[in-house]
Amino acid sequence: MRRGAAYPVTYHWLAAKAARTLDDGAIEGLRASTRHYVANAARFSTGLKPA
């Protein structure tokens, strides 16, 4: 991916199509959120026990 490029975001579950461009900060925020999600998935898959 090019730094500073505009990436469209589309919400397919909405009746209308919404799109916006993401700046570098927004892109990094999404990446950080993804890293957190992946870390939680790994933690939950190894640390959860049946109730």
DSSP 34-47: HHHHHHHHHHHHHH
pTM of the model: 0.51
Residue at 51 is within a domain: no
Residue 6 belongs to some domain of the structure = yes
H helices of the chain, in order, are 24-47
Write down the pLDDT at residue 10. Answer: 61
Task: Please report the pLDDT score of residue 46 as a whole number.
Answer: 86
Which structure tokens are listed for 18? 């919404």
Residue written as tokens 């049946």? 50
Q: Does residue 10 lie within any of the structural domains?
A: yes
pLDDT in tens, the chain (51 residues): 455 556 666 655 556 566 788 889 998 998 999 999 999 888 888 877 777
Domain containing 16 equals: 1-46
Number of domains in the chain: 1
